[in-house]
Amino acid sequence: MTGVVAALVVVVLLLSVLVAGLLRSHATILRRLHELGADHHPDPGVPVPDRAVPRTDGRIPSPRSDLPDGRPAVDVAGTGPGGEAIGVRVVDVAHDTVLVFLSSGCSVCTGFWAELADPRLPDGTRLVVVTRGPKEESPSAVRELAPPGVTVIMSTPAWQDLAVPGSPFVTLVDGPSGRIVGEGTAASWNQVRDLYLRAEGDAPTGGKAGADRRRERELDRLLLASGLAPGDHSLYAPADGEDAGRDGPIR
């Protein structure tokens, strides 16, 4: 009996050492994860960044945290269907650009060409149609399909630089950052626009949200140029009725 008890005590002691070792190992792992910034429960009161930003050891600058996700876009240069030389600035501009990659031969593109005559994009968003270059597309066919009032550029390098897989394909570029914030395809332009308009509500930059932000900045600039600084009393006009009678009632 004594032998059995002694054996159990030894087993319990061994298990206790094993559990203690596991707890110590677990604590070490958690500490390392904490040092790497992988907290599941950040301290309350500590500001949480909007998006994960790679950390550096301090010897090189950290990446900008205000850039939207997405790979960099490039400016588009090529020829127009009428033989024009065209260069369109897409990167580092105030407006967003929707690049619609189409061809004259694809059946799905036919609907796009027609629908783009009335693209109904948000203010502050530019539409540019890009086909492959004149060696791969017929300029006269593109000229016939080109919707009036829409910039059309024939440029195979643009397809290659922006890794366009085929037509139709749509790429949305956030102008200020020069990043591609949305891309894909659909059966019709209206579907693309619906997807785009829905996505832009989720995105912190670009699209309608970006346009709204730019309009706000422009209004701020105009107000400041007019001598109206934040807090100016003229920005806080009395509510309706309080000042009634100053200029007489309007009847």
Partner 1 sequence: MLLSAHGVSFTIPAGWEGEISQERGPQALALAERGAHLRPVAHAATFALPAERGAFGSGAVEAMRDDDVFLALVEYDRGATDTALFARRGLPRRLDPRRFHPAALQRTLPGQAGHQEFFTDTGRAFCLYVVLGDADDAHLQVRRVEEVLAGIRIGSGP
For residue 69, CA distances in Å to 24, 160, 161, 178, 233 come to: 39, 21, 18, 11, 40
- 157 in contact with partner 1 (CB under 8 A): no
Write the interaction track for partner 1 spanning residues 28-57; mark x where CB under 8 A is met and - where it is not: ------------------------------
Using the contact rule CB under 8 A, the part of the chain among 7-15, 22-30, 51-59, 142-150 near partner 1 is 142-150
Yes or no: say if 167 and 192 are a contact pair by the CB < 8 Å rule: no
Read off the tokens for 176.
């200020």
- C-alpha 76/C-alpha 86 separation (Å) is 8
Q: How far is CA 42 from CA 33, 38, 118, in A?
A: 12, 9, 49
β-bridge mates for residue 77, sequence order: 87
Q: With contact defined as beta carbons under 8 Å apart, do 102 and 131 qualify? A: yes
Q: How is residue 126 annotated by DSSP?
A: E
Cα–Cα distance measured from residue 68 to residue 56, given in angstroms and rounded to the nearest whole number: 19
Least distance from C-beta 111 to partner 1, angstroms? 21
Q: Is 190 in the site for partner 1 (CB under 8 A)?
A: no
Residues 206-225: x where in contact with partner 1 by CB under 8 A, - otherwise, as a string: ------------x-------
Query: 94 vs 187, which CB is nearer to partner 1?
Result: 94
Locate 81 and state its tokens: 């269907």
Site for partner 1 in 73-92 (CB under 8 A): 75, 77, 79-80, 82-89, 92
Q: Does 148 bind partner 1 (CB under 8 A)?
A: yes
Cα separation of 78 and 135, whole Å?
Answer: 12
Distance CA 68, CA 140 (A): 39
Residue 93 in contact with partner 1, rule: CB under 8 A: yes
In the complex, minimum distance from the CB of residue 112 to partner 1, in angstroms, rounded to a whole number: 17
Exactly one of 99, 103, 119, 126 binds partner 1 (CB under 8 A); that residue is: 126
Instruction: Name the residue nearer to partner 1 (CB basis): 178 or 182.
Output: 178
**Considering only residues 108, 141, 150, 195, which one is a binding residue for partner 1 as defined by CB under 8 A?**
150
Which residues of the chain form contacts with partner 1 (CB under 8 A)? 75, 77, 79-80, 82-89, 92-93, 95, 126, 148-152, 218
